[in-house]
Amino acid sequence: MTLPRILLTALLPFAAGYFMSYLLRAVNAVVAPDLVSDLSLSPAELGLLTAAYLGAFALFQLPLGVLLDRYGPRKVQAGLLSIAALGCLAFAFAGDFLGLFAARAMIGLGFSAGLMASYKSSATWVPVERRSLANTAIMSFGALGLVVATEPTQYLVALIGWRNAFVIFAGLIMLAAVFILAVAPAKDTVGEPAPLGQQFAEMLAILRTPLFWRLAPLLGLTSGVQIGVQTLWAGPWLRDVMGLTREEVGRHLLYMAVAFMVGIFSVGLIADRLGRRGIGPMQVMLGFIVLYLLAQTLIVFQVDGLMFPAWLAVAAFGQVAVLAFPWFAARIGRELAGRANATINFSMFVVAFAAQYLVGIVIGLFPATGTGYSPEGYSWALGLFLIAQLLALAWYLAAAPHRNTT
């Protein structure tokens, strides 16, 4: 296919699905006060409810890789988006915590292919040397969903209520599914698919490779923490630590979403440019991870004057692990790209689920304040995950005899 056709048919439709995925992933950061008010949720319950999306998302990653390699991203993504739309309707009409939890999990299941379907299509149609740029472009487009999930969604919820907002989201998701079926290439698999048993065996073989175990802790923790925290706890943190009003929180979350969108695309451009000069994507990724961890340190210690700039850096560089996806998939094999990407994505969303839930548990151990949760509780919760990320970085760097950063 020509480049314009690749962009319009093999990348844009899946990026539209990923847009909706990120919108629904992050929406609870805005509607959390309404959910807490309507259902009297504790911090742990709020974390568990929001993390239901990530839990279902993570659990489906491994079978998802097999489905993408066997049936192609077009059919798989369109079918799963239909489930996400039904989940939004169920969320809108749920009457208790269990109903909301089940609906939130259904939404997560429906969006489980949001990014992986995009990457599978990219691996099929985009030359390997340009995939880092293509993948970051997809992610930056998806970040528009994070932008919409902030102040625009807050305005929508104030206008029509959070339940009606989810009905509108359901309709938009179905439009994205129809768009994919109508535009994406019908032939989107490489060769004839192997028997299912063989495909699952090949996926398990990927999980046993030393390369996976060197990469997964670092990629899973760095990306997973950013997903888990920015899509829920960043909003309450801005309220409780910086003392912002609800409207100010929405605006600051918007700034963070824009930082994510601009940052991840800039990372792709930098990696693409440096790659032409012989600097590999893994080297670029490590450099940005160091900046990302430094920013988290400023947040944990609540350094006056630098806290919100640090949040902007966390948003901009928190998903820099995207550079490793094409690098890892290329070493596993093009025909295994869906499964290779899904194994890494699985590690990320397991961590994201744990981060959303465990941060809520740790915060709940500290006395509540008049406006929300204890600032000290946030520092302890985020600090524990920062330590885990530093250990993962040390583990990766300790594998020096096996390292390949080109």
Kindly report, residue by residue over 289-331, the tens digit of the pLDDT.
999 999 999 999 999 999 999 999 999 999 999 889 888 888 8
pLDDT single digits (tens) 238-267: 999 999 998 899 899 999 999 998 998 899
Q: Residue 366: in which H helix or E strand, if any?
A: none
Tell me, what's the pLDDT at 66?
Answer: 82
By C-alpha distance, which of 65, 176, 179, 84 is closest to 123?
65
> 381 to each of 28, 148, 215, 334, how far by Cα in Å?
19, 27, 24, 39
Q: How many CA atoms lie within 13 A of 352 on its CB side?
A: 30
CA distance 259 to 265: 10
Secondary structure class of 279 (helix, strand, coil): coil
Contact status, residue 256 vs residue 230, Cβ threshold 8 Å: yes
* Average pLDDT score over the chain: 88
**Each residue of 164-196: b (16+ CB within 10 Å) or e?**
ebbeebbebbbebbebbbeebbeebbbeeeeee
Contact status, residue 235 vs residue 229, Cβ threshold 8 Å: no
